[in-house]
Structure 1
Amino acid sequence: MSADIHIRKEGRAGRITLTRPKALNALSYDMATAIEAALDDWRDQDDVALILIDATGDKAFCAGGDIQQLYDTGRAGDYDFGRRFWADEYRLNAKIAHYPKPYVALMQGFVMGGGVGISCHGSHRVTCESTQIAMPECGIGLVPDVGGSLILARAPGRLGEYLGTTGSRMGPDDAIHAGFADTYVPELKWPTLTAALVETGDPAVIAVHAETPAPGALRALSPRIDRHFGGETLHDILNALRAEDCDFARDTLKLLSRNSPLSMACAIEMIHRLRGPAADITRALGLEYRFTYRAMEQGDFLEGIRAAIIDKDRKPNWKHGLDSLPGIAVAQMLQPLGKNALTLEETGT
């Protein structure tokens, strides 16, 4: 087993602990496959009543996927590794969403990108004082993925478009309001809660420890978000924000100006397509994969990683400007993949 993850059975629980706090518990390919293997093993074991996933360190549950290898292989012209990584990661996300046993996630600190994928599709999602959940992928030339697009589409009003394009962070109350979490339990209570979950195998003990978090910002901002993010396209949203001279509009425009226009426009389109009762995790992951499959070769992903992670100059040279993005570009990134479409079947590789 990887030194970056600790998988074991304790009492009535199958336990998964991410153990690379110096890397903010970034999810590697090996960690993802280890989690999936454990879930497969425990699915039919009667002595495992629930799954409990947590992480060591104070700063992060999981700040995202480990993208260094994705960048290195993509720069070398090898797009197949990234495509296989995303397909296998998405299969794990779907398994978590459909898992037949309670899946409890304790989410402290940063929970972003791939971290959302291994926690926020669980049946019981617990926050604490330090929780900061976000989908910041548009800042590196991706779109909200790992099934996050579905959670965004189900968020109240137009919060999904706002959170998906700006990458804004959610504290515990905001995360619960937006549908990324269920419960707030102060972190001092986590050892007692963990012991109770392990002993009983019953997620009902979470409610005994739950409290009401301090109010977040999103509930008060929602009317303004709904008014400005109600348009059909990124261009519509930009026009609405530019038409109002206020701090919210100025601050939001500043956030949007940093991110990939192609990614933001595709994120908006994806959220719109997934809004409604017919959408499910399988459809969301399939739509996300259309983008990520093309992200290195046709999108802004490699440039976004270069600017944010490699050179750290924070000056990405996006393929399109905010006001010069052709509508056809969105259609091209999200068109069906044909024989390369995501199947959520194990590849054996």
Structure 2
Amino acid sequence: MTDDIHIRTEGRAGRVTFTRPKALNALTHEMCLALDDVLKAWADDESVALVLIDAAGDKAFCAGGDVAAMYHAGKAGDQDAPRRFWREEYRMNARIAEYPKPIVCLMQGFVMGGGVGVSGHASHRVVCDTSRVAMPECGIGFVPDVGGTLLLARAPGRLGEYLGLTAARMGPGDAIHAGFADAYVPQDRWADLARALCETGDVAQITAMAESAPASDMAAQQERIDALFAGTRIEDVLNAVAADDGALAQDAAKAMARNAPLSMALTLDMVRHMRAPDTTIRDALATEYRVAHRIIEHGDFLEGVRAALIDKDRSPRWRYADGRVPDDAVTGMLAPLGADEWNFNGG
């Protein structure tokens, strides 16, 4: 058992606490496996009425996956280790989404990438004033994954495209508006909430303690977001924001200028396809894994992580830096993997 995650039962609750606050509770491979294993065990444990997941420290619930470890493996020529991490992390994400009992997540501070994969698919997602939820993967040459493309697709209007392409951070009101959270409970009441959940095993305690969330700036901007991000190709979106002198458009243009064009083109395509009727979490994860499987060799992931986290020069050398991404570059990354396709049972 890893020291980075504290697993126990308290009263009627199975409790999981991420304990890597100095690393913003970034998920390691071992943490993913430990969480998946205990969820399997608790699913059939009649003494556990609900699962409560929280995190140590004030800065982050979970700021993502341990991408530095994947970078070092990839640079050493080991593509299997990152692929195994993603396959097994995605299995855990699917298990949370399909879990037969309530899962409550208390989401303080940064909730990004892999943190969204844990919290975003839980049945009861609680935010507070410090919550900052985002999918920033395009900035490191990857794509929103961990089922994030499905969450983005279900956001109102074109908000999913906006969030995926700009990595905009959602405050508590925004997260609830976008469908990434359910309830706002002030953080100074979380200890009382956790105690009540453990004592009763009843998620109605959340409703009893919830308050009105702060207003959503993104909801107020929804009409403008929908207009700017309606394009079917990444070039269309880039042109739309470049032609608009409003603050929203100019902020979006600056954000997208920092991101990998191939990643943004893939994200746009994936979010649109995830809006198809009856799309499931497993569909999203299988599609995302096609990109993950190829991203080290054929994408910008290594370069993006290098620039952001390793050398920290913030000067990535992206493919298709002019923003013109060929259609076959997108279709190639999303093509079926044959025997390597992700699936819940064998992935």
In the superposition, the TM-score normalised over structure 2's length comes to 0.98
Letter in 2 for 1:206: I
Is 1:118 the counterpart of 2:101 in the alignment?
no
**Separation (CA, whole Å) in 2 of partners of 1:150 and 1:21:** 28
| Cα displacement (A) at 1:221 | 1.1
Letter in 2 for 1:132: R
1:208 aligns to what? 208
What is the CA deviation profile of residues 215-255 of structure 1, one whole-angstrom value per residue up to 9, with x for unaligned ones? 12101111111001011110111121222222222221111
What is the CA deviation profile of residues 15-38 of structure 1, one whole-angstrom value per residue up to 9, with x for unaligned ones? 000011011001000000000110
CA contact (8 A) 2:235 2:324 kept: no
Is 1:227 the counterpart of 2:224 in the alignment?
no
**Separation (CA, whole Å) in 1 of partners of 2:58 and 2:272:** 36
1:17 aligns to what? 17
| Cα displacement (A) at 1:278 | 1.9
CA contact (8 A) 1:193 1:209 kept: yes
2:59 aligns to what? 59
Segments of structure 1 that go 5 or more residues without pairing to the other structure are none
**Separation (CA, whole Å) in 2 of partners of 1:118 and 1:111:** 9
1:194 aligns to what? 194
What is the CA deviation profile of residues 64-90 of structure 1, one whole-angstrom value per residue up to 9, with x for unaligned ones? 001122011100111111111100000
How many equivalent residue pairs? 347
CA contact (8 A) 1:261 1:318 kept: yes
Is 1:28 the counterpart of 2:31 in the alignment?
no
**Correspondence 1:52-201 to 2 at 5 A:** 52-201=52-201
1:303 aligns to what? 303
**Separation (CA, whole Å) in 1 of partners of 2:323 and 2:43:** 50
What is the CA deviation profile of residues 78-112 of structure 1, one whole-angstrom value per residue up to 9, with x for unaligned ones? 11111111000000000000000000000000000
**Separation (CA, whole Å) in 2 of partners of 1:74 and 1:279:** 31
What is the CA deviation profile of residues 113-154 of structure 1, one whole-angstrom value per residue up to 9, with x for unaligned ones? 001111110000000110000000000011000001100000
CA-based RMSD: 0.9
1:242 aligns to what? 242
**Separation (CA, whole Å) in 2 of partners of 1:164 and 1:114:** 14
Does the residue aligned with 2:285 lie in a helix, a strand or coil? helix
CA contact (8 A) 1:20 1:56 kept: yes
CA contact (8 A) 2:234 2:323 kept: no
Does the residue aligned with 1:14 lie in a helix, a strand or coil? strand
1:342 aligns to what? 342
**Separation (CA, whole Å) in 2 of partners of 1:346 and 1:156:** 33
**Separation (CA, whole Å) in 1 of partners of 2:24 and 2:4:** 11
Segments of structure 2 that go 5 or more residues without pairing to the other structure are none
Does the residue aligned with 1:111 lie in a helix, a strand or coil? strand
**Separation (CA, whole Å) in 2 of partners of 1:323 and 1:211:** 43
CA contact (8 A) 1:143 1:266 kept: yes
Does the residue aligned with 1:236 lie in a helix, a strand or coil? helix
**Separation (CA, whole Å) in 2 of partners of 1:90 and 1:176:** 23
Q: Percent identity?
A: 57
**Separation (CA, whole Å) in 2 of partners of 1:123 and 1:170:** 19
| Cα displacement (A) at 1:346 | 4.8
**Separation (CA, whole Å) in 1 of partners of 2:328 and 2:267:** 15
Does the residue aligned with 2:250 lie in a helix, a strand or coil? helix
Does the residue aligned with 1:105 lie in a helix, a strand or coil? strand
**Separation (CA, whole Å) in 2 of partners of 1:329 and 1:340:** 19
**Separation (CA, whole Å) in 2 of partners of 1:152 and 1:89:** 19
CA contact (8 A) 1:96 1:103 kept: yes
**Correspondence 1:33-52 to 2 at 5 A:** 33-52=33-52
**Correspondence 1:254-269 to 2 at 5 A:** 254-269=254-269
In the superposition, the TM-score normalised over structure 1's length comes to 0.98
CA contact (8 A) 1:88 1:346 kept: no
Does the residue aligned with 1:211 lie in a helix, a strand or coil? coil
Letter in 2 for 1:15: R
CA contact (8 A) 1:104 1:124 kept: yes
